[in-house]
Amino acid sequence: MSQETMHTLNTKVLLGYGDYGAWHRMAKHLTGEDNVYPGAIPVDEVMRRLYDFEVEMCKLIVERPDGTRFEQDKFFAQCPDNQDIIYGVHGEGYKGHQYRKWLIEYVQKMLGKDIGICTAACLRQGAMSFVSVRVPDVFKTKHGVEFFTYLMALTSFDGSCSTQYKTGNIKPLCDNTAQALMAAAGNHYKIKHTRNSEAKIVDAMAALRLLEQEQEAFAKECDELCERSVTEDQFQKFLSQLVPLPEVDDKDINDRDYSTRSATIAANKRERLNELYRLDGRAAPWKGTFYGVLQAVNTYNQWDGRNHKDGRIVRAFEKAATGQTAAADLNTLKLLELVCA
């Protein structure tokens, strides 16, 4: 179950460039403001709606069971200046990265002032945040795969991740990520929360390639996957290994207990993957290819898995931001390689 409420999801997740589906429809009812913008999200809107606070380093007063107190001088609490909560407790060498500076101002320096923000989120009561910035033009490969290129900037105050800048590509049709294709491209830069971290931002600017330069490499990878065929037998073999059905009797491979809950879940997942692969616009146009299989599994993992309905959107964003989506995509391709070898 999600740690985020629907109110949080509809007020602390801002979406640009059009309609992202029905999950956000309560936004106006809850707040009087929509969280979806027809074009790029204005920087001023992100500042007003998400980054209207800064995080302060606060002293810790420890109270013993007998009521006596003392001040802790080696560790400090990270607290927002607009809430009485603690995001995390870190040592004296820790340097928090304020969202306005590290996710907006530095991205503007990297890409130019007129950045097109497509997603901005402030999650975990404000302890984690990310911003994704996209190239406005949609690129189309020779096999009909449409995508835009983006840079994602991510940081946290709860110790869950360092500050990160990562380039990647997303299909505009469904917000599907295909980060696995660019995972080894050297387009990911991390900066630890230390007192000297400010100096590292210059290295990050030099290490990250311009977004436009991602397009050619990504399009080539997509086309290569579109040109690798998968037969019907290979796809069924892939499904049987990706989603094995529970066996009752190992001596008879056809003797399966379809009445158990685990068997039902597995059978339903196979059925849904088959449906996505054959009929869904996010995968079906590339049926019979590596790319089609990857799209079907990726789409299922993000939008059809066993996530609580209120938590699906935030989990999808968090997985993309932290690299879990890319890892899952790589595992899909590795299994497909083995099946089709």
CB neighbour burial string for 9-45, b if at least 16 within 10 angstroms, e if fewer: bbbbbbbbbeebeebbeebeeeeeeebbbeebbebeb
Do 199 and 258 reside in the same domain of the chain?
Answer: no
Contact 193, 96 (CB under 8 A): yes
Residue 85 lies in a domain: no
| pLDDT of 303 higher than 80 | no
Query: Within this chain, do residues 165 and 269 fall inside the same structural domain, yes or no?
Result: no
How far apart are the C-alpha atoms of 263 and 265, rounded to whole Å? Answer: 5
Give yes or no: residues 203 and 114 share one domain. Answer: yes
In this predicted structure, which of 111-115, 134-138, 238-242, 257-261 has the lowest mean pLDDT?
A: 257-261
Residues in the chain: 341
pLDDT at residue 172 is higher than 90: no
Q: Which two tokens stand for residue 71?
A: 């001040």
Whether 200 and 163 have beta carbons less than 8 Å apart is answered as no
Burial grade of 96 (CB within 10 A; 0-12, 13-18, 19 or more): buried
pLDDT in tens, 25-43: 444 555 568 888 888 999 9
Q: How confident is the model over 188-212, as pLDDT tens digits? A: 788 899 988 888 887 777 766 656 6
Q: What is the pLDDT of residue 111?
A: 77
> Which carries the bigger pLDDT value, residue 195 or residue 236?
236
- Check residue 301 and give its pLDDT: 81
Structural domain boundaries, residue 120: 6-51+96-213
Residues 268, 166: one domain? Answer: no
Could you tell me what percent of the chain has a pLDDT over 70? Answer: 75
Does the pLDDT at position 308 exceed 60? no
Are the C-beta atoms of residues 129 and 159 closer than 8 Å to each other? Answer: no
Residue 214 reports pLDDT greater than 60: yes
Q: What is the pLDDT of residue 320?
A: 57
Residues 190 and 245 in one domain: no
Kindly list the distances between the CA atom of residue 173 and the CA atoms of 18, 145, 224, 283, 294, in Å, as whole numbers in the listed order: 11, 10, 20, 11, 15
Residues 143 and 30 placed together within one structural domain of the fold:
yes
Query: Span 274-295, mean pLDDT?
Result: 93
Instruction: Give the residue from 212, 171, 207 showing the smallest Cα distance to 187.
Output: 207
User: Is 81 within a domain?
Assistant: no
Based on the domain organization, do 206 and 252 belong to the same domain?
A: no
pLDDT grade for 179, boundaries at 50, 70 and 90: very low
**Does residue 83 fall inside a structural domain?**
no
Residue 66 lies in a domain: no
Structure tokens at 113: 């002032």
* Integer Cα distance of 175 and 222 in angstroms: 16
38/124 same-domain check: yes
Residue at 76 is within a domain: no
Model confidence band, residue 227 (pLDDT cutoffs 50, 70, 90): very high
Q: Is residue 256 part of a domain?
A: yes
Number of domains in the chain: 2
The yes-or-no verdict on residue 306 having pLDDT over 70 is no
